[in-house]
Chains A and B, each alone.
Chain A
Amino acid sequence: MIAHDHDPSSPASQIGAYALGALDLEDRLTLEALLERSPELQEELQQLRQVVALLPYAAPSVTPPAHVRERLFARIAAAKAESGASRTAPPIAATPRPRSGWLMPGIIAVLTALVIVLSLATLSLSSSIARLDESNRELVARMERLQQTLSEAEIRQEQLSAQLAAGQEQLNVLATRLVASEERIARLSADLARDDYLISFISAPGVATRPLRSASSGVMAQGEMYMYPGHSSAVVIFSGLPPLAPGQVYQFWFADENGQVAGKTFVVDPTGIGYILVEAPREVNAFREVMITVEPSGGSSSPSQNVILEGAL
């Protein structure tokens, strides 16, 4: 027994029914396509055909009447006689069944002539049937070949579809990676543009600097503010700012005689080094001093008492 016999849904499991001649057409064509590709299945079929060929012995054995044999061998003898050495296109030379002896010689002659005529007609009919049978076999063979070709084309189509799907999936992965790379390039470009701006800002002629010093004895932070008198933009570079607890941010403040003006909030990485670009509500040199405080996330409208850096303008 072969392995796929155990799967009742597989076409190969129908090999017994095929040997028995009990398969419906669709199942038969499917199995025959499979048989052509499987020597193992062919071997199984050979064995099962031997089993099936024993079934006729289960029917009662009966000796056929003698005239069956006589007619058969008369037919064979006639075919041999007509074709000589060749055994093609044999005529039917059936011997009539044994009849009672009451027939008169004249009637026998008529019947003999009738038999001859009928034999010739039967021969013609047999020849037509043989041709039709042959034609039918050729059609079946062609249909089986077409079925085989169709099966192979379907298999090829499935393979191509699988390859296409794999290629599409790979393309999607590459597209995703491309988008991620483009986003990263965009971020790097933005960082680079900002760095260029800061460098050009702090190195341009006429820039004024103001130091920012630690306002808390326990913090070793310091900073440098770059500004242009008469302009509202400034850059603050700092170091030593301690990391903040979750929920806290640093906030930049401008101050003059009227009070404090809130600037942007920011956080620093573990190095404590960083810079910010600040924008004052009016020219920077209109303010007297600046400072950096610790505030809750989102910033405050007035500074807390936790001042980290401060500097006079």
Chain B
Amino acid sequence: MAVSPDPDIEGGVLSDENLITRVAAGDTRAMEYLYSRYARVVYGLALKILANAELAEDVVQETFWRVWNRAATFQDGSGAFAAWLFGIARNLCIDELRRQQSRPSGLGAGSDALALAAIPDAQASMDEVAWEAERRRLITIALSELPADQRQVIELAYFGGLSQREIADHLNNPLGTVKTRVRLALQKLKTLLQHQGIGLDDR
């Protein structure tokens, strides 16, 4: 979203942690910057999990509403804001999924086409779009380098909201095998992303 320049905020130069500190003090402009920076990712995540636009919109609104209300409880840390924000969004999605007792279609089958081309946001600044696109490119590459069975358990766990035991039941695999795949997948993702020089604390 193209937020009008704020002489204090300087158009997205401030870090997430600085912005959330301002939000905690009641700064709506800082909240707008955070929304502009992350709403597309949160909405995309919610659509991916829920496969329902209206529910995904509710998740976006509720996620940022909680950010506004709980900004003072946020604990600062390297790259912690995005993890915190996405954690809120994902939990809302998984709660909704469990309420519906249903799963989004295409789980597992579409794992090879995880990252589609980003849909440009006419209201977002070029910096935001470029930064987000770079992240998307790198995580897509990292995921594509995982073995298919490891990528599948990551998909089922993160986007499907399944526990390891549920994944084992879903795939009819031993629980130990699933645990090993999850562990190896996360470690490999971490290594790959570190080699690519990416981290959440980049911002």
Judge whether B115 and A16 touch: CB under 8 Å: no
Chain A residues near B185 (CB-CB < 8 A): 16
Judge whether B57 and A65 touch: CB under 8 Å: yes
Taken together as a complex, chains A and B put the C-alpha atoms of A25 and B102 apart, in Å, by 21
**Main SS at interface, chain B:** helix
Given contacts A55-B154, A56-B45, A57-B132, contact A17 B123 (CB under 8 A): no
Given contacts A57-B41, A58-B140, A64-B57, contact A20 B198 (CB under 8 A): no
Judge whether B157 and A56 touch: CB under 8 Å: no
Q: Is A19 engaged at the interface, CB distance under 8 Å to the other chain?
A: yes
Q: Is A242 engaged at the interface, CB distance under 8 Å to the other chain?
A: no
Judge whether B115 and A49 touch: CB under 8 Å: no
Judge whether A59 and B57 touch: CB under 8 Å: no
Partner of B32, one of A23, A49, A64, A73: A73
Given contacts A24-B163, A76-B68, contact A60 B31 (CB under 8 A): no
Interface magnitude class on chain B = 35 or more
Judge whether A53 and B83 touch: CB under 8 Å: yes
Q: Is B78 engaged at the interface, CB distance under 8 Å to the other chain?
A: yes
Partner of A13, one of B64, B140, B183, B199: B183
Partner of A64, one of B39, B69, B139, B159: B39
Q: Is B126 engaged at the interface, CB distance under 8 Å to the other chain?
A: no
Taken together as a complex, chains A and B put the C-alpha atoms of A195 and B143 apart, in Å, by 94
B23-54 vs A, Cβ < 8 Å mask (1 yes, 0 no)? 00010100110010001111111011000000
Judge whether A53 and B82 touch: CB under 8 Å: yes
Closest residue to A13 on the B side, CB-wise? B183
Taken together as a complex, chains A and B put the C-alpha atoms of A57 and B118 apart, in Å, by 9
Judge whether B78 and A58 touch: CB under 8 Å: no
Chain A residues near B77 (CB-CB < 8 A): 46
Closest residue to B161 on the A side, CB-wise? A21
Chain A residues near B182 (CB-CB < 8 A): 16-17, 20, 22
Given contacts A24-B164, A87-B26, contact A50 B201 (CB under 8 A): yes
Closest chain B CB from A59 CB (angstroms): 4
Interface of chain A residues 53 through 90 with chain B (CB within 8 A): 53-65, 67-69, 71-73, 75-77, 79-80, 85, 87, 90
Given contacts A8-B179, A20-B157, A63-B40, contact A72 B61 (CB under 8 A): yes
Q: Is A103 engaged at the interface, CB distance under 8 Å to the other chain?
A: no
Taken together as a complex, chains A and B put the C-alpha atoms of A53 and B139 apart, in Å, by 10
Judge whether A53 and B86 touch: CB under 8 Å: yes
Judge whether B165 and A24 touch: CB under 8 Å: yes
Taken together as a complex, chains A and B put the C-alpha atoms of A13 and B176 apart, in Å, by 11
Q: Is B89 engaged at the interface, CB distance under 8 Å to the other chain?
A: yes
Closest residue to A53 on the B side, CB-wise? B83
Partner of B187, one of A16, A65, A72: A16
Task: Give the interface centre of A19, A51, A75 by most chain B CB atoms within 10 Å.
Answer: A51
Chain B residues near A232 (CB-CB < 8 A): none
Closest chain B CB from A48 CB (angstroms): 6
Taken together as a complex, chains A and B put the C-alpha atoms of A90 and B116 apart, in Å, by 37
Closest chain A CB from B112 CB (angstroms): 11
Judge whether A73 and B28 touch: CB under 8 Å: yes
Chain A residues near B165 (CB-CB < 8 A): 24
Closest residue to A133 on the B side, CB-wise? B66
Q: Is B76 engaged at the interface, CB distance under 8 Å to the other chain?
A: no
Closest residue to B94 on the A side, CB-wise? A21
10 cross-chain CB contacts under 8 A: A17-B164, A21-B87, A48-B190, A56-B89, A59-B44, A59-B47, A72-B61, A72-B64, A76-B65, A87-B68
Interface residues of A (CB under 8 A from B): 1, 5, 8, 13-14, 16-17, 19-24, 27, 46-65, 67-69, 71-73, 75-77, 79-80, 85, 87, 90, 94
Closest 3 CB pairs of A and B: A16-B186, A59-B48, A22-B157
Interface residues of B (CB under 8 A from A): 1, 26, 28, 31-32, 35, 39-45, 47-48, 56-57, 60-61, 64-65, 68-69, 77-80, 82-83, 86-87, 89-91, 94, 114-119, 121-124, 132, 135-136, 138-140, 142-143, 154, 157-159, 161-165, 167, 176, 179-180, 182-183, 185-187, 189-190, 193, 198-201
| Given pairs A16-B182, A59-B159, 7 additional interface contacts (CB within 8 A) | A17-B183, A17-B186, A21-B87, A22-B164, A63-B119, A72-B35, A72-B60
